Amino acid sequence: MIYYDKLIFEISKPGRIGHNTPKNDFPKAVLPSSLLRDEDAMLPEVSELDVVRHYTNVSKKNFGVESGFYPLGSCTMKYNPKINDELASLSGFQNIHPLQPITHAQGFLRIYNELSIYLSEITGMDAYSLNTYAGAQGELAGLMIIKKYHEDRKDFKRKLIIVPDSAHGTNPASATVAGFDVLEIQSNPDGTVNMDALRASLSDEVAGLMLTNPNTVGMFEKDILEISDLIHDCGGLLYYDGANLNALLGVSRPGDMGFDITHLNLHKTFSTPHGGGGPGSGPVGVKSFLAPYLPGPIVEKIDSKYHLVTPSQTIGPLSNFYGNASVYLRAYVYILTLGKEYIPMIGKLATLNANYIKESLKDLFKLPIKEHAMHEFVYDGLLNNPHQIKTLDIAKRLLDYGIHAPTIYFPLTFSQSLMVEPTESESLETLDHFIETMRTIVDESNQNPDMIKTAPHHTIVRRLDEAKAARNPIVKFKDII
């Protein structure tokens, strides 16, 4: 097949074109010669049909939530209703210019303002800035707020951010980038905070604690109110990593648990397609005493008009203009479509679905944590494993059955972690299909272990040498053609 395995540059033929543009009547002299190209851009020369076939074939090689079950733990790969995309692409939103006078952008500003209010209501916080582009950037904003808050109180010795060792890697990274030292504390075997370790780490140098609840193993932090008291009594602030909010949505609120600052991952919890690294939005929410520190501008309603406001002690802007508008337009539609009535179903169904799978396969897979899980849970390899089948092998074989692999080898707490997050979107039949497929794979691994160890066999790309791919990545098409 001429199209199937080729880069678009490989089917390029000099002089072939796919479109006619009007003649350029823009006077060249307007641009300084330093800005003009010496050579033509290296673009593929292809017909329209070549382009259509190429991208149609590329799209068939892709795997997404719309192709099959995608239980990638920690990533909340739920279904993203099409109405979100449709309304976010209305021309009134798409064509708005970031420098447009605000009198011409009242509708957009209203959505910014109302979404901030809805997120505050859902999470029990008082104010939000939507300016940050991702969860990790929201973390950075939150930590910069913690820093400025202590500095404004002339409390300069608070240099430590406590992070449990079960945290997502972005937590210690953000704390370091914000200029703190990270004090890692060991978690309990189920990833929850070890209260003795926490007590031992407290001092007047502690600026704050970062916590994910439920944590990355899917466990709810039962001691959260006591944790909150301990941190606040020693003068620190409590930061909520909101990546797992899906488990609690509409059921309980970080603001009520004592958190002072939170980031949300709108692309995870509030349904934006986010495979392959983007797009994202990581709003930062705070209790009222920290609202003056939010990154700005934010939008406020004053005398029935919407205005851009720079909070009085802002840490400064962290993005151009308003942030990733298309993601929060989708979140706005998603929240309004479900409303107060159905949003609580999200957390409950996500939890039910995870526990249904967890209990259904515990005769075959090791369950390092047996307690009730929230939206995700972890298996730690096969219970009976005479052929030394690894989690990697199971994950690769799932691809042959058209199912995206769960997250593997995270969390690091277990050697064969396989972390499953089905989300609330999936039907009972899909969950049963996954369970049956896992059973088939375990049978196969007893009958024919070599076949499992060399899977996948039916995908376009077979098992990769991952060390080689990491050490010698080929990322430029010129290295191939």
Query: Within 260-299, which residues bind ligand PLP (CB under 6 A)?
Result: 265, 280, 282
Q: Residues 83-112 vs ligand PLP: string with x where CB under 6 A?
A: ------------------------------
DSSP E strand stretches across 316-457: 377-380, 407-408, 417-420
Q: Beta-carbon neighbour count of residue 167 at 10 Å?
A: 23
The stretch near ligand PLP (CB under 6 A) out of 107-115, 130-138, 283-291, 408-416 is: 130-138
Least CB distance to ligand PLP at residue 60 (A): 27
Q: Tokens standing for 452?
A: 């499992």
Residues 6+ apart with CB under 8 A from 368: 189, 378, 379, 380, 413, 414
Q: Does 134 bind ligand PLP (CB under 6 A)?
A: yes
Using the contact rule CB under 6 A, the part of the chain among 19-27, 133-141, 202-210, 312-320 near ligand PLP is 133-141
Which of 84, 131, 132, 216 binds ligand PLP (CB under 6 A)? It is: 216
First-to-last CA distance in the chain?
18
Largest CA distance in the chain: 75
* Sheet containing strand 181-185, strands side by side: 127-129, 284-286, 261-264, 237-242, 206-212, 160-164, 181-185
Say how far residue 110 (Cα) sits from the centre of its chain.
25
In terms of phi and psi (left: phi > 0; alpha: psi -120 to 50; beta: otherwise), the region of 109 is alpha
Strand intervals (E) in 186-314: 206-212, 237-242, 261-264, 284-286, 298-302, 305-309
From 88-96, 131-139, 190-198, 335-343, span contacting ligand PLP (CB under 6 A): 131-139
Binding of residue 113 to ligand PLP (CB under 6 A): no
Q: Which stretch binds ligand PLP (CB under 6 A): 11-19, 134-142, 305-313, 355-363?
A: 134-142
**E strand or H helix at 114:** helix 106-123
CB of 257 to ligand PLP, least distance (A): 16
Q: Are strands 407-408 and 377-380 parallel, antiparallel or unpaired?
A: unpaired
Please, which residues bridge with residue 427 across strands? none
Q: Is 132 in the site for ligand PLP (CB under 6 A)?
A: no
Query: Is 358 one of the binding residues for ligand PLP (CB under 6 A)?
Result: no
* d(C-alpha 448, C-alpha 467), whole Å: 26
Q: Which of 168, 330, 375, 404 binds ligand PLP (CB under 6 A)?
A: 168
Our finding on whether 119 is near ligand PLP (CB under 6 A) is no
Q: Does 136 bind ligand PLP (CB under 6 A)?
A: yes
In terms of CB distance, is 101 or 277 closer to ligand PLP? 277
Task: For ligand PLP, give the closer residue by CB, 134 or 369.
Answer: 134
Q: Which is nearer to ligand PLP, 270 or 379 (CB)?
A: 270
Contact set with ligand PLP (CB under 6 A): 74, 134-136, 168, 170, 212, 216, 241, 243-244, 265, 280, 282
